[in-house]
Amino acid sequence: MDDRAGDWIVETNEVDRRFHTIGEVLGHLEGLEAQPSGQASVRVARVPVTGWKRFLGVVGQDSPCFAVEWDGPYASLIFHDDAWSEYRAIDESHPVQPTEDQRRRIAHGELTPHPLEECMDKARAFTAMREYFGGRARPSWLKYRYIR
């Protein structure tokens, strides 16, 4: 694994923190997991632009990785591709039953509660995020619902 694929930005409660290695990001995520509730997103900072795009003055953009929200033992996890499309994680092998209020608190800013089938155990969500860094890919043990 290339630990220096680029600077990493972790946004927590609308505050960005920059990390230089995946190890630093993983340590930060471990601290977040200990919190009873919260939200975070991870992205790679300013992907370099090459070739004709650079010649034309195109500026690099951050490359999104994933976003997570959690409340108590429940979480919702959304992976992104470079076009910011959503891949909403579904953990069919470990279904959970959060209350409607808990689903509202992990709804990623939506006005309605997060869909029940897209809610998961918080510990498994954090495990999936850690696994993402092993190969920069969504874990295959989860299913995904594509949005956009």
Q: How many domains does the chain have?
A: 1
User: In this predicted model, what pLDDT tens digit does every residue of 95-146 receive, in sequence order?
Assistant: 999 999 999 999 999 999 999 999 999 999 999 999 999 888 999 999 999 9
Sign for the CA dihedral angle at 121, 126, 131, 132 comes to positive
Range of the structural domain that residue 87 is part of: 8-147
Beta strands in the chain (DSSP E): 8-12, 15-19, 37-44, 63-71, 74-80, 86-90, 120-121, 143-147
Within a domain: 2: no
Beta strands in 72-119 (DSSP E): 74-80, 86-90
| Residue 4 CB partners (closer than 8 Å, separation 6+) | 20, 21
User: In this predicted model, what pLDDT tens digit does every residue of 40-89 receive, in sequence order?
Assistant: 999 998 755 566 555 555 455 789 999 999 999 999 999 999 889 999 99
Within a domain: 31: yes
Within a domain: 89: yes
